[in-house]
Structure formats: structure tokens, C-alpha cells
């Protein structure tokens, strides 16, 4: 029997990047009132929860991921009253709200850091990680910042270095200090009391650093940060008791949730951090790379699924599925060419039919593509620094494409990042009007996912050989059996069922090529190029097997 619907396990989480979702006052920056006005849209799409990237006061060295006040709303996004309204409106539509907690570092403009750097004997000095220089003035360790350069910044006025795992404008917090720990747990309490349902913890596994400040050993890699084994600047044992304390706090409220953004994620790492007495889930980012080692095809995707399922199932951890987010080129840009949505359909099918909580990124439902920027237009700090080797993350953060109105209906004023030029044809209104659009396909998949518990909670079994370019699997729960077929290739593919898996006849649920009937012949099933198909095995067929 299907267990009760648990929003964070069975539902779909939709990530909103507030700057880029909907602008209510024409200043070119999305805001909370804009999001509230779009809740009906999200609810119609079938979303269960929204995750809001940071909207707190921030000098925007890292566009909100450098927070200068944890318990307020940046004036550009609105007010706490707007936030309360957003929560109330979301809850009215049975939608949950997940906040982004960025607690590895603050902004260097946070009053805590302003005090901390004021003098060595300031009471807040120890709220951050300050160390004396090594002989000859060298930084205290060899640790590298993930956005480039050393992770230590020298502060001439007090003669010490402070640690920053990201930009120098993002000093790392000293979680070992009990006062800091309380202050940060209070941040959770503040938002929980306001009705927040869950949290996404930014790079949580970097909160603690080696107590003895040892140097990281080196390894092969391209950039400085990748040329180190991160033994001492993250994943310290102190993290687990902290997560347990946080979980106890969350569990003192009903149905609250926390998902960790695992820094340098692997499924193995996650088994340490997620579980019944720690995080509910942590991102493993199994499908977000595309390069020579990880080409986008049926075989690679299956390998990733199998690996993740093996490790997560053994540990009793519920997976998350992520295809896109605010740090990566969008899946549609990674895998699709031009405006053709065949690969976007495939990515969406995986997102919504694999075992695990789907995290959908705003605009993914209409196949938004990354924008291309000139060097002078780049906003993202690592993009400015590494251009042209790395152009930063602005590409995936372009304004949501609502309609063919000026600025794609995102704003009446010039948006903070340019709108993708394809907005005249690729937008929500156009896709809502087109029954063959990715939007409709997504909505139908979501409806099926809600209808069939097997698609949410069922077991996962592969019944074709993935080296044919086809990924075909069954999701089964009790009597309910749903088959999912995905042809990753542009060729017709005849594929053979493994023994006993041929259902012969099944009921059509969804086809992206207008297929009307499902039947197999001689244990084989023939798929059209890029065909995606969902069918339900009829109970009679199962009996006759
Ligand atoms: C991970 C976030 O996803 C990313 O956007 C941010 O720049 C870094 N953490 C630093 O907070
Ligand atoms: Ca605005």
C-alpha cells in the first residue's frame, strides 16, 4: 500500500530564483510579490513546494549567497510582510515553502563580520575563522577558494588572515563557537515560526574545517581548487552531531524538511549526512555533468541511476533528482541543440519518473535555454574572473519567459539580465496554448506521477539493455506496474525485453509521438527516434505472464 503522501518525498519541488522569476514593480528585479502572483501558475502545473533562492539583504557579491542579515527581506525583494503573504498564499494552495540557508559564510557586510574584523579583541572576533600568518607572511594553509585563488584573505589592520571558501566577500563562519551555533540555530527558529516548511542548506558539509588546520594533499586537476583532495576544508566529523541537533529542532514541528547541497557531492558522502536522525535528503547531482567522461546517453544515465539506487537503498536514504539549477547550464542547453525539445523531453521524463524527489528549476517546464552574454554583460563573479574558460552562471539565471510581451512579461522595465531572444516563441503563454509543448508534456507527467503511486514510491527495474540507446524501466508498487521507455537516439530502435518482462499489451499513458496503442511482437518493441512512452501494464497481462 502507498504510504501517506509526504510532500517532500512524493511531491515536486520547484526552485525559484527570485531575481529572475517575476517582477511586480518594474525595477527589473524579480521580487516576492511577483512570486506570490504566480502561485496559481505553479499550482496548476502541479508543484508541491517552492524553494526560494536567497532573498535576504545582501550586497550581491554572489547574488544573494552573501547574506548581511538572516532574518529580513532585502528591500529589492520586498518586506517581511510580503514574505508572510507569500507563505499564506502558498499554504492556501497546499504548497510548501523551502528557504535557502547560506550558513557556511556571511557577507563581509554582515554586522557580525564588521565587528569581527574591527579588532583582535572584539567579542565577535571568534565568530569567524582568523589565523596568524605563517612565517614570511604566507597564508595559514594551502586551502583554495572554490571561486579561485587562496581561501585566505589578509586583513592588514589586524594582521591576521580570515578564511573564505568562496569569495573574499564571503567570510566563513566559525561553527565551533557555541555562541555562533546558537545564533545560527536561532535563524532556523525565526523562519520556522513564520511558517516555513523546509530548508535547503547551502554547502552544509563545509561548515566545519580541520581543527588543526592541516594542508590538503594534492591531486590531479585543472584549477587550483580541483588540484587538492579536500580532506581538511570540508566533511569534518563535527558535522553529523550538528545535523542531528538541527533535525531534532525540525522534528519539533510537523512535516518539516531539510535538504543539503552537498559540496563535491557523491552518493557515498550522502550516506553520512542523510537519514532518519539527520538531513531528510542531500543532493547527489547524478545527472548534471556533461563531458567526455559522462556523455548524455542511456548507458550513462542508467549507470548513474544504478549507482545511486544501490548506495541510497542500502542506507535507506530517499534520493533527489536534479537536472538543472542556478549553478549549472540548464539541461535543455546541455543536451538539446537549437530550439528542438526532444532532449528536454527526455530530461523531464527522467526528472519526473525516477525514484527520488524531483527538483525542477524555474523555466525547465518550458525548456528555457541559457542566455549567451558578452564579456561586458557578465554579472557572476567567477564568470568575470575566468572568462573565457568559464563564463559563469548568468546563463541559467535569465528572466522567466512568461509571454511574448516586452521583456517576456517578466517585468515592465529592463531586467537585470537580458531575456533570451527566443522568448517570442518560447514562453509560458505560447506553450499553454500548444498541446504538443514541453509545458503540456510536463504537466501530464506530473498528473501521472500524482495518480500512480508506483511512479513515486515503486521499485525500479530495468528490462532493456541500455547499450541500444534505449532506457526502459519499470516502476512497480504492489499490483501497479508502469513502464517507461526513452529512446535517447535519433534512430528507430528495436529493443528486446529481458526474460519475462514482455507485457505484450499495456495501456497507453503518455507518448510524445502520438502513439495510440502499445503492443510487442516476439519479445520486441520498436521505438521511434527520441520516443518517450509511459504505459501501464494491465493486471490481466501480468497474470498471463
Ligand atoms: C552554492 C550555491 O548554490 C552557489 O550559488 C553559491 O555561489 C555558493 N554555494 C556559495 O554560497
Ligand atoms: Ca522588482
Cβ 203 under 6 angstroms from ligand 1: yes
The answer to whether residue 543 scores a pLDDT higher than 70 is: no
Q: Work out the mean pLDDT of the chain and round it to a whole number.
A: 95
Cα separation, 136 vs 133, in Å, equals 8
Whether residue 493 contacts residue 298, with contact meaning beta carbons closer than 8 Å, is answered with: no
Cβ 175 under 6 angstroms from ligand 1: no
Q: Which residues pair with 152 in a beta bridge?
A: 163
Give the pLDDT band of residue 466 (cuts 50, 70, 90).
Answer: low
3-class DSSP string for 532-544: EEEEEECHHHHHH
Poorest-confidence range of 58-67, 146-155, 195-204, 488-497?
Answer: 488-497
**Closest ligand 1 atom to the C-alpha of 66?**
11
Tell me which of 257 and 542 has the higher pLDDT: 257
Poorest-confidence range of 180-194, 214-228, 456-470?
Answer: 456-470
Cell matching residue 392:
559563469
Q: Which ligand is nearest to the CA of 63?
A: 1
pLDDT digits (tens, 9 = 90+) for 248-301: 999 999 999 999 999 999 999 999 999 999 999 999 999 998 777 778 999 999
Cβ 166 under 6 angstroms from ligand 1: yes
Q: What's the average model confidence in pLDDT over 68-81?
A: 98
**How do the domains of the chain map onto residue ranges?**
2-106+178-447, 111-163, 458-541
Q: What's the average model confidence in pLDDT over 80-91?
A: 98
Whether residue 52 contacts residue 35, with contact meaning beta carbons closer than 8 Å, is answered with: yes
0.75 cut: is pTM over it?
A: yes
Cβ 62 under 6 angstroms from ligand 1: yes
Q: How far is the CA of 80 from the centre of ligand 2 (A)?
A: 15
Residue 545 has what pLDDT? Answer: 41
Q: How far is the CA of 169 from the centre of ligand 2 (A)?
A: 25
Helix axes 342-353, 438-451, angle to 10 degrees: 20
Q: How far is the CA of 268 from the centre of ligand 2 (A)?
A: 41
The third-level CATH classification (topology) of the domain covering 2-106+178-447 is: TIM Barrel (3.20.20)
**Closest ligand 1 atom to the C-alpha of 104?**
11
> What is the enclosing helix (H) or strand (E) of 346?
helix 342-353
Residue 469 has what pLDDT? Answer: 92
Q: Is 261 a catalytic residue?
A: yes
Identify residues whose C-beta is under 5 A from ligand 2, the ion.
Answer: 23, 25, 27, 29, 31
Catalytic residue among 235, 261, 286, 394: 261
Q: What's the average model confidence in pLDDT over 420-424?
A: 98
Pairing of strands 493-496, 524-527: antiparallel
Complete DSSP assignment for 399-424: PP---SSGGGGT-SS--SSPPPGGGG
Q: What's the average model confidence in pLDDT over 485-499?
A: 89
Whether residue 206 contacts residue 187, with contact meaning beta carbons closer than 8 Å, is answered with: no
The third-level CATH classification (topology) of the domain covering 111-163 is: Oligo-1,6-glucosidase; domain 2 (3.90.400)
Cβ 60 under 6 angstroms from ligand 1: no
Cα-only R_g, the chain: 24
Poorest-confidence range of 175-184, 238-247, 363-372, 502-511?
Answer: 502-511
Cβ 65 under 6 angstroms from ligand 1: yes
**Cα dist from 251 to 48, 99, 180, 246, whole Å:** 20, 17, 22, 9
**Cα dist from 494 to 264, 504, 516, whole Å:** 39, 15, 18
Counting ligand 1 atoms within 8 A of each CB, the residue from 102, 110, 164, 394 with the most, and so the one to mutate, is 102
Q: How far is the CA of 463 from the centre of ligand 1 (A)?
A: 39
The answer to whether residue 538 scores a pLDDT higher than 60 is: yes
Residue 3 has what pLDDT? Answer: 57
Q: What's the average model confidence in pLDDT over 61-73?
A: 98
Q: Which ligand is nearest to the CA of 30?
A: 2
Q: Which ligand is nearest to the CA of 32?
A: 2
Q: Which ligand is nearest to the CA of 67?
A: 1
Q: Is 202 a catalytic residue?
A: yes
Q: How far is the CA of 65 from the centre of ligand 1 (A)?
A: 6
Catalytic residue among 10, 31, 74, 202: 202
Cβ 67 under 6 angstroms from ligand 1: no
Nearest protein CA to atom 6 of ligand 1, as residue:
65
Residue 540 has what pLDDT? Answer: 63
Q: What's the average model confidence in pLDDT over 407-435?
A: 98
Give the pLDDT band of residue 83 (cuts 50, 70, 90).
Answer: very high
Cα separation, 5 vs 356, in Å, equals 14
The answer to whether residue 502 scores a pLDDT higher than 90 is: no
Q: Which CATH superfamily is domain 458-541 in?
A: Golgi alpha-mannosidase II (2.60.40.1180)
Amino acid at each position: 500500500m502507498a504510504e501517506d503522501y509526504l510532500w517532500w518525498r512524493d511531491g515536486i519541488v520547484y526552485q525559484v530564483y527570485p531575481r529572475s522569476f517575476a517582477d511586480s514593480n518594474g525595477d527589473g528585479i524579480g521580487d516576492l510579490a511577483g512570486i506570490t502572483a504566480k502561485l496559481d501558475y505553479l499550482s496548476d502545473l502541479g508543484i508541491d513546494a517552492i524553494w526560494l533562492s536567497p532573498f535576504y539583504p545582501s550586497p550581491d557579491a554572489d547574488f544573494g549567497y552573501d547574506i548581511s542579515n538572516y532574518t529580513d527581506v532585502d528591500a529589492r525583494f520586498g518586506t517581511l510582510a510580503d514574505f508572510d503573504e507569500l507563505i499564506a498564499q502558498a499554504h492556501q494552495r497546499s504548497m510548501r515553502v523551502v528557504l535557502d540557508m547560506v550558513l557556511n559564510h556571511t557577507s563581509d557586510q554582515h554586522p557580525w563580520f564588521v565587528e569581527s574584523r574591527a579588532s583582535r579583541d572584539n567579542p565577535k572576533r571568534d565568530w569567524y575563522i582568523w589565523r596568524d600568518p605563517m612565517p614570511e607572511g604566507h597564508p595559514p594553509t594551502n586551502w583554495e577558494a572554490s571561486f579561485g585563488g587562496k581561501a585566505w584573505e589578509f586583513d592588514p589592520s589586524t594582521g591576521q588572515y580570515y578564511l573564505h571558501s568562496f569569495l573574499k566577500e564571503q567570510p566563513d563562519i566559525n561553527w565551533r563557537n557555541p555562541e555562533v551555533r546558537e545564533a545560527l540555530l536561532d535563524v532556523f527558529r525565526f523562519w520556522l515560526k513564520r511558517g516555513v516548511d523546509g530548508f535547503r542548506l547551502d554547502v552544509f558539509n563545509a561548515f566545519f574545517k580541520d581543527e588543526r588546520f592541516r594542508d590538503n594533499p594534492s591531486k590531479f586537476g585543472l584549477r587550483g581548487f580541483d588540484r587538492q583532495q579536500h580532506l581538511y576544508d570540508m566533511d569534518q566529523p563535527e558535522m553529523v552531531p550538528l545535523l542531528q541537533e538541527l533535525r531534532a529542532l525540525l522534528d519539533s514541528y510537523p512535516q518539516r524538511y531539510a535538504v543539503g547541497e552537498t559540496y563535491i557531492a557523491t552518493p557515498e558522502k550522502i550516506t553520512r549526512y542523510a537519514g532518519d536522525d539527520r538531513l531528510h535528503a542531500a543532493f547527489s547531482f547524478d545527472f548534471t555533468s556533461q563531458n567526455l567522461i559522462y556523455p548524455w546517453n542511456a548507458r550513462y544515465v542508467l549507470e548513474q541511476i544504478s549507482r545511486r539506487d544501490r548506495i541510497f537503498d542500502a542506507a535507506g536514504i530517499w534520493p533527489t533528482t536534479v537536472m538543472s539549477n542556478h549553478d549549472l547550464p540548464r539541461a535543455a542547453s546541455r543536451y538539446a541543440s537549437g530550439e528542438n525539445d526532444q532532449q528536454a523531453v527526455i530530461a523531464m521524463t527522467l526528472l519526473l519518473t525516477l525514484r527520488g524527489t524531483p527538483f525542477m528549476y524555474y523555466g525547465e517546464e518550458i525548456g528555457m535555454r541559457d542566455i549567451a552574454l558578452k564579456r561586458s554583460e557578465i554579472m557572476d563573479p567567477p564568470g568575470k574572473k575566468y572568462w573565457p574558460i568559464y563564463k559563469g552562471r548568468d546563463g541559467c539565471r535569465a528572466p522567466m519567459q512568461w509571454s511574448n510581451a516586452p521583456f517576456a512579461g517578466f517585468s515592465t522595465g529592463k531586467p537585470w539580465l537580458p531575456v533570451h531572444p527566443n522568448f517570442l516563441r518560447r514562453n509560458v503563454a505560447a506553450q499553454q496554448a500548444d498541446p504538443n509543448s514541453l509545458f503540456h508534456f510536463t504537466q501530464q507527467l506530473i498528473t501521472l506521477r500524482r495518480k500512480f503511486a508506483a511512479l513515486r514510491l515503486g521499485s525500479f527495474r530495468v528490462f532493456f539493455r541500455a547499450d541500444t540507446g534505449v532506457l526502459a524501466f519499470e516502476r512497480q508498487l504492489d499490483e501497479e506496474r508502469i513502464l517507461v521507455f526513452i529512446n535517447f537516439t535519433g534512430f528507430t530502435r528495436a529493443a528486446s525485453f529481458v526474460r519475462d518482462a514482455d507485457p505484450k499489451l499495456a495501456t497507453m499513458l503518455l507518448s510524445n509521438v502520438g502513439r495510440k496503442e502499445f503492443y510487442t511482437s516476439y519479445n520486441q518493441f520498436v521505438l521511434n527516434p527520441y520516443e518517450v512512452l509511459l504505459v501501464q501494464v494491465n493486471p490481466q497481462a501480468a497474470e498471463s505472464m
